[in-house]
Structure 1
Amino acid sequence: MDLTEKQQQLFDYLQEYLEREGRAPSLRQSAESLGVSHNAVAQLITQLERKGVVEREGRYSRTIRILSPHTAAKAKMRVRELPIVGRVTAGLPMYAQQEWDGSVVVDGNLFPGNNLFCLRVQGESMQDAGILNGDLVVCEPRQYAENGEIVAVLIQGEEATVKRFFLGRDHIELRPENKKFTAVRYPFSEILVQGKVMGVIRSYDKR
């Protein structure tokens, strides 16, 4: 466990107290035993939670559980931070960019996979597929697509869009999921697939 000296001190104290008493000490007890303030203990417990070595039933719950290394690793895997694509750089895959427009924390069990990234959707062209204006789509990096898949693509190396992909004999057709919009065909040279859409994170801020 990669813990600081103070974090390790509190972790050892909690583990010993739980084994001896069968319950977690109060903040007051912990603070008095370690010679620190209540706020310091509360902050350290939060830090230990974030590192996946202890678990509380609720934010203010006194019930604390020490996690085994195996359990801690699984708990840590449940939480993932995914980058949100901001400005798209021509010729460079989205997921290889170094500049991001923030990030979003997701459940790793819902979104497994490596190097996942998010793209914020603009417009209503995919609303019938449940992808609304302002939503984030979670994408798995890919530079190919199967017919019918919803993918993130670059058009002419500049414009990023999310559409349903179809491969023709001499073109690629990008189809919207909204009857108000029409499908558009492009030469192969104008389309670069960036990733397959694996899920949607709804945005409730529609201002």
Structure 2
Amino acid sequence: MLTRKQLELLDFIRNRMDAEGVPPSFDEMKVALDLRSKSGIHRLITALEERGFIRRLAHRARAIEIVKLPEAMERTGFTPKVINGDRVDPPKRVAPPKGAMRVDAVSALELPVMGRIAAGVPIEAIQEISHHVTVPGSMLSGKGQHYALEVKGDSMIEAGINDGDIVVIREQNTAENGDIVVALVEDTEATLKRFRRRGSMIALEAANPAYETRVFPDHQVKVQGRLVGLIRSY
């Protein structure tokens, strides 16, 4: 399963190749996806290549082969092709890497991505599914329901959680001191923070010295889940 940005990029490449016969430049991709730098495009391209959706040809500028499309994007009669300027090559078969394992041989489950969660100042509570992501079954901790969220902000960066990461959350309404949780503040705002109970007060701690710890009466904070895993695209 691809992330939203990966799907957006794959769709943009496909549409540009269909319309003009050549793939877009990295600068065009950056503008189309509203990213701040081309390094983000490099990470998305690498992720698409690792997942087998595209292939790049070495030593050829702007040479991208669309190998396959996700089911939701498939078109009748789609044929993979390589375009390099006015050159069109038939797709070539590539042997899988040594030690590669078939996806269907790995225990994996699909989880709903419930939108974005703020790792910074709390944002509006999350309520709707934006897309789905496939995660290893070994990542799911214990029994109960799980869901995923896309991280927005950098307040948990020293806990290894970066802006744009996907966090896997197990639904639960209790937490131990030190747990990283999804906390609903005053029934309106959701945030990802480290949980600390101080008597009748709840402290929501950031993992970035640029952010202050926020303290609330315990009745104003509801735990909605605990962090059990993280997915990052490079």
TM-score range, shorter chain: 0.5 to 0.7
Query: What is the CA–CA distance in structure 2 between the aligned matches of 1:166 and 1:119, rounded to whole Å?
Result: 22
Secondary structure of the equivalent of 2:219? helix
Ranges in structure 2 where 5+ consecutive residues have no aligned partner: 1-93, 97-103, 118-124
Query: What is the CA–CA distance in structure 2 between the aligned matches of 1:136 and 1:201, rounded to whole Å?
Result: 5
**Under a length normalisation based on structure 2, what TM-score does the superposition of the two structures give?**
0.49
Secondary structure of the equivalent of 1:143? coil
Query: What is the CA–CA distance in structure 2 between the aligned matches of 1:143 and 1:182, rounded to whole Å?
Result: 24
Between the aligned residues of both structures, percent identity stands at 38
Contact 1:87 1:100 (8 Å CA) reproduced = no
- The answer for the alignment partner of 1:121 in structure 2 is 151
Q: Rg: which structure is higher? A: 1
- The answer for the alignment partner of 1:103 in structure 2 is 132
Task: Say which of 164, 173, 198 aligns to 2:194.
Answer: 164
Q: How many residues align?
A: 127
Ranges in structure 1 where 5+ consecutive residues have no aligned partner: 1-58, 62-74
Change (3 A) 1:178 1:189: same
- The answer for the alignment partner of 1:133 in structure 2 is 163
**Cα deviation digits, residues 126-173 of structure 1 (max 9, x gap):** 000000111111011110100011111111112111100000112100
Change (3 A) 1:164 1:112: closer
- The answer for the alignment partner of 1:79 in structure 2 is 108
Secondary structure of the equivalent of 1:100? coil
Secondary structure of the equivalent of 2:158? helix
Residues 85-96 of structure 1 aligned to structure 2 (within 5 Å) = 85-86=114-115
Higher helix proportion (structure 1 or 2): 1
Give the drift of 1:201. Answer: 0.9
- The answer for the alignment partner of 1:200 in structure 2 is 230
- The answer for the alignment partner of 1:30 in structure 2 is none
Query: What is the CA–CA distance in structure 1 between the aligned matches of 2:205 and 2:141, rounded to whole Å?
Result: 27
Give the drift of 1:110. Answer: 2.7
Query: What is the CA–CA distance in structure 1 between the aligned matches of 2:151 and 2:105, rounded to whole Å?
Result: 29
- The answer for the alignment partner of 1:146 in structure 2 is 176
Give the drift of 1:86. Answer: 2.6
Q: Larger deviation: 112-121 or 142-151?
A: 112-121
Which ranges of 4 or more aligned residues in structure 1 deviate by more than 4 Å? none
Give the drift of 1:77. Answer: 7.5
User: Please, what is the CA RMSD of the aligned residues?
Assistant: 2.6
Contact 2:182 2:226 (8 Å CA) reproduced = yes
Change (3 A) 1:87 1:202: closer
Query: What is the CA–CA distance in structure 2 between the aligned matches of 1:180 and 1:136, rounded to whole Å?
Result: 22
Task: Say which of 163, 176, 181 aligns to 2:206.
Answer: 176
Query: What is the CA–CA distance in structure 1 between the aligned matches of 2:197 and 2:212, rounded to whole Å?
Result: 16
**Under a length normalisation based on structure 1, what TM-score does the superposition of the two structures give?**
0.55
- The answer for the alignment partner of 2:216 in structure 1 is 186
Change (3 A) 1:149 1:112: closer
